[in-house]
Structure 1
């Protein structure tokens, strides 16, 4: 046995927690001079691989929280606090998939142009999103069904390789069957280290997806579950 082997047992360095991909601290958004902000967030941190579902009544501040994440809020609103994005790239899945897509470009061409992905990467990602019919590559968004357009918007978010993906009520315009399929896709097709923030009125989404569930009410985070990070690779 050599000297190295006879010494104290080697120890692996303590595993550090993953670095946040986004953080808000003491963040407020409201009208200049107003006594109370429209949204007041003491702390909001996103970690790699999280699936954060945000619910709350209408007017609670869900869309305002997404605007804090994107850094784009309505003209006339004033932001104070600390906003620390880990990356300038943020993907977005809207309520209607067509709103994420260029109306005039065929699907395959625009996904390649928007993301720089190869034709094979586009085909593979569309297949993973449930759009395996090669004829869909030549169709324009108006020629897609609502469910197909939503899947295409998810494929666009995946191909963007953005570390944070925001989804604003992406299942509200779908029937229950299509909703369940989209929720399954959101849980599985995004990269393991891509972080999903899903705003919804649908409690089934929180049940199906959330590693952390935030409830907003009256412009504040009213409650939050402890994060489950088993999706995050070691």
Structure 2
């Protein structure tokens, strides 16, 4: 019998391997969106990488390109615009939370029924997520979107995005039509209900949103990412 032994020098114990970095949920490289033949694009993104579980908040003045960046991410831009660059993966499921929650909901279907139909979730799963979203009243399950308040509809839209289990969730000014109390509740729900692997990209004009929610804060200006800011730990008082 041959015995093979491996000798290690003192102090040179084998080090554990570092974990591999996660694969990005979405990546844009040298991505440009603009009118064909124009001297410069409307939006020019050298690199934008979105990792699973990230909470990226995008701010910037009107016309800076925030909505165009969302179009790049979805791969769905206005007719007449031309895209160059790379977007990977080429196809990924994306959930969407609009400015008005009613716009994410079917206007004729009761809330409980449409969440089950749209996501394939069980009645128990729907009741559970609505309970977590503060919509646990059984009477709300039978209401149509027009019968919900603005804050209730926005919470229902978040519940729909969570139940979809889409790896990327986009939110376009989801708190702009709400008062400070409702805004804070929506931010709390976004921070707690989204799955750990669901990446969030949120566009807003409200700096308090970035300070409350972001793991990364991008500032767009004149069609480019002007800066990346680390989020502050404290929240801005309402």
- Give the TM-score, by structure 2 length: 0.91
Matched length: 226
CA deviation after TM superposition for structure 1 residue 72, in Å: 0.3
Are positions 1:43 and 2:63 aligned together?
A: no
Deviations 1:163-205 (A, max 9, x none): 1100000000101110111011111111111111000000010
- Kept in 2, the 8 Å contact 1:92–1:165? The answer is yes
Separation in 2 of the partners of 1:110 and 1:181?
A: 23
Match of 2:23 among 19, 22, 27: 19
Aligned to 2:107: 103
What RMSD over aligned residues (CA atoms) do the two structures have, in Å? Answer: 1.9
Are positions 1:182 and 2:196 aligned together?
A: no
- SS of residue matched to 1:57: coil
Deviations 1:68-91 (A, max 9, x none): 000000010000000003752000
Gaps spanning 5+ residues in structure 2: where?
A: 233-238
CA deviation after TM superposition for structure 1 residue 118, in Å: 0.4
- Kept in 2, the 8 Å contact 1:20–1:86? The answer is no
CA deviation after TM superposition for structure 1 residue 10, in Å: 5.4
Aligned to 2:37: 33
Alpha carbons of structure 1 residues 4 and 89: separation in structure 2 relative to 1, 3 Å:
farther
Separation in 1 of the partners of 2:111 and 2:7?
A: 62
Separation in 1 of the partners of 2:151 and 2:21?
A: 37
- SS of residue matched to 1:123: helix
Alpha carbons of structure 1 residues 187 and 86: separation in structure 2 relative to 1, 3 Å:
farther
Separation in 1 of the partners of 2:177 and 2:115?
A: 23
Are positions 1:161 and 2:174 aligned together?
A: no
CA deviation after TM superposition for structure 1 residue 115, in Å: 0.4
Are positions 1:193 and 2:197 aligned together?
A: yes
Alpha carbons of structure 1 residues 173 and 226: separation in structure 2 relative to 1, 3 Å:
closer
Are positions 1:54 and 2:58 aligned together?
A: yes
CA deviation after TM superposition for structure 1 residue 17, in Å: 1.1
Separation in 2 of the partners of 1:28 and 1:70?
A: 14
**What are the residue-to-residue correspondences of 1:81-160 with 2, within 5 Å?**
81-85=85-89, 88-160=92-164
Separation in 2 of the partners of 1:195 and 1:102?
A: 24
- Kept in 2, the 8 Å contact 1:87–1:163? The answer is no
Separation in 2 of the partners of 1:194 and 1:221?
A: 23
Aligned to 1:71: 75
Match of 1:170 among 159, 167, 174: 174
Worse-matched range after superposition: 8-17 or 150-159: 8-17
- Kept in 2, the 8 Å contact 1:21–1:87? The answer is no
Gaps spanning 5+ residues in structure 1: where?
A: 229-234
- SS of residue matched to 1:102: coil
- SS of residue matched to 1:158: helix
- Kept in 2, the 8 Å contact 1:21–1:86? The answer is no
